[in-house]
Amino acid sequence: MTLAARYRLGVFLVFAPLSIFLTGAGGLGLSSSVGFIGLLTLPLLALPGWRAARAAPLALGLSAAAIAWFCITHAWSVHPRADEVYKLILLTPLYIAAVYACVRMGEGEVRVARPVLLAGALALGIFFAIEALAGLPIAVAFQGWLHDLTDPEGALGIATRRLSRGATAFIMLAGPAGLWFWLKGGYAYRAAALFLLAASIIAASGFGVAANVAGLAFGLVVMAFALHWPRATLQTILAGTALFILASPVIMAALVALFPDALAERLPISWHWRLEIWGFAVERIAERPVLGHGLDSGRSLSELVMLRGMEIERMPIHAHNAGLHIWMETGAIGAVLAAAALLALARSVGRAALNASLAAALGFSGAVWLGSVMLGYGVWQEWHHGALAFALGSAFILLRTRA
């Protein structure tokens, strides 16, 4: 193993276990731990990264243009703080570098790194299963210790929110790890794979976040298709997402119109609230369809209404749908650039050296993330960008294409 390989492996062995721990702690710290993997390995990636970029210049160029436009729109945003500008500009390249560092690992590095990821996925599965089935005993205890909370309900609410985020990151990692165990064969390995599937289902459904359930279901469907049609499945998902982003104001407006108040009131409160959020986002898009209201403006655009006897915000921070979020804040220009970048990436996937198992793992993690940002999280949030990068890098380590 060369000195460079030893250094890269050393970075991974420090920050991968930290990333696994931070996943159990709620996931927010993944923005830093995964970013450090990219930052500290960046000097080793400059030359091979440049060669790789030259092989797919259109996807890289359009992605850079999209991010640049997203950041420019903050110039007219009603939200005063420019945090997301710095995060998008600085962290996005580091997440890409973190994934590429995993791609560049040699077989000697992989033999050492792989057990860390597999053991970490199993440990997280045990942790999230215990928390979901036993009523969050560990998280509540730590919340009380860290914040001196004397209100049990307050501690439970904070712990549930944090664990729901950590569950998203865990599920994205559990897919590649579970697939490795299943393909390895044998009773013990297959049992581990089934355990990770069961733990993922428990984690997705155990913390009151419907987006996690939808993301897991979508990820499993994509994985099944990708095992049979690797490149076609990934290309279809990327192209389909691009088309949805372009058409999201029309699609989501039609969906909201399908649920008049009498029908919406029969839905669970969280889904009724989503309809209100989506309807409000469509209204704001109509006000500034070309340029949008500016990056992060969703944090300042809202109004209070009564919903089933409760006072709610019609825009609680973001649109709870990636397509509407992009349109509302960055306008048609942002939507077109994002869609073009995804279509260019789909074109590049068609030429990539991917075996079926690797494509299935990448597709699973990407689909879980996509389901989450289409129904739950804000599209700019850096912690789940880091979680996605960690899961994709792990997929390359666990299920790489072998020469």
Which has the closest alpha carbon to 129: 76, 105, 121, 182?
Answer: 121
- pLDDT tens digits, 114-145: 999 999 999 999 999 999 998 888 877 776 55
pLDDT in tens, 278-288: 998 999 999 99
Rg, Å, the chain Cα set: 21
- Highest mean pLDDT, choosing among 243-257, 291-305, 313-327: 243-257
Amino acid code (one letter) for 283: E
Q: Where do the domains of the chain lie?
A: 3-244+321-398
- Could you tell me whether strands 310-313 and 304-307 are parallel, antiparallel, or unpaired per DSSP bridges? antiparallel
Q: What is the mean pLDDT of residues 150-163?
A: 75
Question: Can you spell out the DSSP letters for 224-286?
Answer: HHHHHSHHHHHHHHHHHHHHHHHHHHHHHHHHHHTS-HHHHTTS-HHHHHHHHHHHHHHHHHH
Cα distance between residue 121 and residue 126, in whole Å: 9
CA distance 388 to 168: 9
- Return the amino acid letter for 13: L
- As beta bridge partners, residue 304 has 313
Predicted local distance difference test score (pLDDT) of residue 148 = 54
Judge contact between 22 and 55, C-beta under 8 A.
Answer: no
Rounded average pLDDT over 11-16:
96
How many residues are listed for the chain in this entry?
403
Report residue 128 CA to chain centroid gap. Answer: 18
Residue 45 is predicted with a pLDDT of: 86
Number of H helices, E strands in the chain: 15, 2
| pLDDT value of position 46 | 80
Task: Give the residue carrying structure tokens 């995804």.
Answer: 342
Query: Of the ranges 69-73, 251-255, 397-401, which one carries the lowest mean pLDDT score?
Result: 397-401
Q: Give the pLDDT score at 308.
A: 73
Q: How far apart are CA 167 and CA 207, in angstroms?
A: 8
For residues 50 and 61, give the distance between their C-alpha atoms in angstroms, rounded to a whole number. 13
Please give the pLDDT value at position 109.
93
pLDDT top residue among 123 and 80: 123
**pLDDT tens sequence across 330-370:** 999 999 999 999 999 999 888 877 899 999 999 999 999 99
Query: How many other C-beta atoms lie within 10 A of the C-beta of residue 235?
Result: 18
What integer is the mean pLDDT of 243-271? 88
Give me the percent of the chain exceeding a pLDDT of 70. 96
Q: Measured between alpha carbons, how far is 377 from 214 in angstroms, rounded to an integer?
A: 13
Q: How confident is the model at residue 401 (pLDDT cuts 50, 70, 90)?
A: low
288 exposure class (CB count in 10 Å sphere: 0-12, 13-18, 19+): middle
pLDDT of residue 276: 87
pLDDT in tens, 210-234: 899 999 999 999 999 999 999 999 9
pLDDT at 147 over 60: no
- State the chain's maximal CA–CA distance in angstroms: 67
Instruction: Please state the pTM of the whole predicted model.
Output: 0.93
**How many whole angstroms separate alpha carbon 100 and alpha carbon 332?**
31
pLDDT of residue 394 exceeding 90:
yes
Alpha-carbon gap, residue 66 to 73, rounded angstroms = 11
**331: region left, alpha or beta (phi > 0 left; psi from -120 to 50 alpha):** left
Question: 55, exposed or middle or buried, with CB in 10 Å at 0-12, 13-18, 19+?
Answer: exposed
Q: Is the pLDDT of residue 152 over 70?
A: no
Average pLDDT over residues 310-337: 90
Q: What is the DSSP letter of 304?
A: E
Q: Residue 193: name the closest of 39, 312, 361 by CA.
A: 361
What distance in Å separates the CA atoms of residue 304 and residue 328, rounded to the nearest whole number? 19
Compute the CA torsion angle 238, 239, 245, 247 (nearest 10 deg): -160
Do the Cβ atoms of 170 and 364 come closer than 8 Å? no
